């Protein structure tokens, strides 16, 4: 059973979509989005989005790396295999630092990329938008506003009228084929 998924409006320039995004945001929609070939500066404000939370994933990734690195070296060179080399202490934060530092960066980087995927709910290989032919130009040079039919404020006629008022090149309903 195919059912309506979203209404999409296509624009040619970043300025047009920015103006449209401001209007859709002002109309109080929640489940809507702007799709662009590159990040348009100022769009987060136009859509009323807050600061991204990826930094927490990076921070806890890095903290895990630092702790794991220090504990690993402490365990290996002080506890489990305590052999004096060159008269140096069995454990010291100084000699353990380079490795722990690299592990901080390693897990921090995994945290950043993983955090981006988690917050974006990606990978998402089934997406009705990806089956739409006009929408394929979103990764080339077109700009789209997408308002999902699940949105509480969605009303077929009113939403279409709102989008028509933003001077788009094209308006289309996208259906979910499943």
Which residues does 64 contact at the CB level (< 8 Å), separation at least 6?
107, 111
Beta carbon of residue 111, minimum distance to other proteins (angstroms, whole number): 8
Establish if 177 lies at the interface with other proteins (CB under 8 A). no
| Token pair of 36 as six digits | 């662009």
Q: Which of 28, 38, 157, 178 binds other proteins (CB under 8 A)?
A: 38
The pair of structure tokens assigned to 87 is 């008269």
Rg (CA), the chain: 25
Decide if residue 178 touches other proteins (CB under 8 A).
no
Binding mask 95-124 for other proteins (x = CB under 8 A): xx-xx-xxx-xx-xxx-xx-xxx-xx-xxx
* Residue 4 or 157 with smaller CB distance to other proteins: 4
Site for other proteins (CB under 8 A): which residue of 6, 66, 73, 149?
Answer: 73
Q: Are 174 and 8 in contact (CB under 8 A)?
A: yes
Which SS3 state, helix, strand or coil, does residue 114 take? helix
Does residue 66 interact with other proteins by CB under 8 A? no
Which residue matches tokens 């927490």?
56
Query: Contacting other proteins (CB under 8 A), which of 1, 133, 152, 178?
Result: 133
Using the minimum distance from each CB to other proteins, give the nearer residue, 118 or 157: 118
Beta bridge partners of 170: 10
Q: How far is CA 91 from the centre of its chain?
A: 41
CB of 159 to other proteins, least distance (A): 18
């Amino acid at each position: 059973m195919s059912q309506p998924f979203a209404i999409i409006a296509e624009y040619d320039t970043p300025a047009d979509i920015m103006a449209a995004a401001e209007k859709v945001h002002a109309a109080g929609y929640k489940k809507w989005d702007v799709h662009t070939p590159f990040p348009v500066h100022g769009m987060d404000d136009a859509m009323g989005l807050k600061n991204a939370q990826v930094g927490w994933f990076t921070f806890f990734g890095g903290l895990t790396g630092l702790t794991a690195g220090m504990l690993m070296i402490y365990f290996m060179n002080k506890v489990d295999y305590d052999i004096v080399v060159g008269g140096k202490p069995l454990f010291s934060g100084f000699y353990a630092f380079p490795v722990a530092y690299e592990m901080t960066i390693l897990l921090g980087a995994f945290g950043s990329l993983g955090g981006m995927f988690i917050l974006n709910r990606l990978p998402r290989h089934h997406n009705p938008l990806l089956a739409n032919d006009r929408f394929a130009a979103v990764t080339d040079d077109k700009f789209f506003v997408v308002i999902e039919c699940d949105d509480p404020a969605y009303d077929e006629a009113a939403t279409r009228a709102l989008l028509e008022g933003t001077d788009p090149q094209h308006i289309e309903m996208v259906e979910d084929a499943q």
